Structure 1
Amino acid sequence: MIRFICVATFLILFLILSIPVFGIEWIIGKFSPEKRDYSSLRIVQWGFKRILAITGVEITVIGEERVPDEPVLFIGNHRSFFDILITYSRCKRLTGYVAKKEMEKIPLLSTWMRYVYCLFLDRENIREGLKTILQGIEYLKKGISICIFPEGTRNKGEELTLLPFKDGALKMAEKTGCAIVPMSLNNTAEIFENHFPRITKTHVVLEYGEPIYPGKLDKETRKHLGRYCQQVIDETIHKNAEILKKEA
């Protein structure tokens, strides 16, 4: 429980102390939007890294050199709130995450999310969902990477299972021609969700896969792109489960 209390305390203090920072960021943005964007990115990453340090999580990262130096669509399996902290803290470029619409109502946190180009997806409204996808396409065209979890929600099933990937989540890559970068995460639910409300020190594995360019795939694979990407991540999490099994 001590780690949980420390994380909660840090998060509350971070958000409260952010209030004057928002004003500073707004002023910076008036003179240099790019500097504002990157300062917001680094501030949020700093906060995430501090939280991860408090949890004591050990992260094994594989294949980070595979991520191209260009705007991409990151996709990943999703089992924990900590998936966002682990992956976002490693972003080298501006990257907006697709979050559920309800997150937009959280004071202060939602302000930071807007500053770092997060998109709020209404999963119940098809028309609004399409607007979100179109906004993501515009961000990619401007050089901002996007991250989405194609399962559509946090998977609460068994560790090495995946919910069906939604093809609509990948339209941003198909429409812009950008690369899809698979992110395969192992053991993240063991940090918190598997024994709520305790936070435990654990070992997780994050692997970045080879970039997938939809335009270079054959017609049949493009037709079932979600299934193809799911297979890539499924194979990777099963492979990396062996790393963790050796430690058990």
Structure 2
Amino acid sequence: MIRFICVCIVVIGYLILSIPILLVEWVIGKFNKRAKDISSLRIIQAVFRFILKITGADITVKGHENVPADTAVLYIGNHRSFFDILLTYVLCPDVTGYVAKKEMESIPLLSNWMRYLHCLFLDRKNIKEGMKTILLAIEEMKNGISICIFPEGTRNRNESELDLLPFHEGSFKIATKAGCPIVPIAIHNSAGIFEAQFPKMRPAKVIVEYGEPIYPDKLDKEEKKHIGAYTQNKILEMLKEMND
């Protein structure tokens, strides 16, 4: 419980104490939007690294060199833990927005930082609004902002992490319409940090592996038609290797 309490204190304390930082970042953005984007990215990455350190997680990163350095990408990952966001965000080499559920938009201060970080809020119950979010994500990618999404749509609570939920194909329109590569991310044992023994946090051995980028325009017709399933299989292959 001590780790859990410490994480809560850090999160709540940072959100409150960061109000002046939000104002400073806003001013910076008025003069240099790129500088503001990068400074917000690095600030939150530092906070997330500190939180992960508190959890005691032993994190191994594989294949990060597969992330293209010269273009925005669509990161696609499996999702079993709240910590999946922290585990992947600290590894983002450049500005990256995450697609989050609409309900998070109403959380004071947290939603302010999320907007600063180009996060988008998806209304999963409203198809029309959901499509607007997808279109916004496409525009962000065309402007050089990478996007990360967990296309299972929610945290996967199945007993085995190999039992993935179906990937929502609509998420992949972000890459196909923006003409950007997809980078599959396989996250192993992230639920071991917290969800597996809620409400306690325990040190867990976690692996975050980045697969080779998938270029939609290089896939054959059938693969492109079911690109969500194709990407899911790539992630599943990496997870199976980790579980061997």
TM-score normalised by structure 1 residue count: 0.96
> Where does structure 1 differ by over 4 angstroms across 4 or more consecutive aligned residues?
none
Which position in structure 2 is the counterpart of 1:113?
114
2:125 and 2:115 map into 1 onto residues whose CA distance is 21
Which position in structure 1 is the counterpart of 2:30?
30
Which position in structure 1 is the counterpart of 2:56?
56
1:47 and 1:82 map into 2 onto residues whose CA distance is 13
> Structure 1 regions of 5+ residues with no counterpart?
243-248
Note the aligned Cα RMSD (angstroms). 0.6
Letter in 2 for 1:208: Y
1:93 to 2:97 alignment: no
> Structure 2 regions of 5+ residues with no counterpart?
none
1:140-159 matches, cutoff 5 A: 140-158=141-159, 159=161
Question: Secondary structure at the residue paired with 1:207?
Answer: strand
Post-superposition offset of 1:160 = 2.0
Which position in structure 2 is the counterpart of 1:137?
138
Post-superposition offset of 1:17 = 0.7
Q: 2:188 aligns with which of 180, 186, 189?
A: 186
Q: 1:46-75: CA deviations, max 9, x gaps?
A: 110000000010111110001001100000
Which position in structure 2 is the counterpart of 1:163?
165
1:203 and 1:68 map into 2 onto residues whose CA distance is 27
TM-score normalised by structure 2 residue count: 0.98
Which position in structure 2 is the counterpart of 1:246?
none
Letter in 2 for 1:3: R
Which position in structure 2 is the counterpart of 1:68?
68
1:228-247 matches, cutoff 5 A: 228-242=230-244
Which position in structure 2 is the counterpart of 1:200?
202
Letter in 2 for 1:222: K
Which position in structure 1 is the counterpart of 2:218?
216
Question: Secondary structure at the residue paired with 2:47?
Answer: helix
1:240 and 1:201 map into 2 onto residues whose CA distance is 18
The alignment of Structure 1 onto Structure 2 pairs a total of residues equal to 242
1:67 and 1:38 map into 2 onto residues whose CA distance is 18
Letter in 2 for 1:166: H
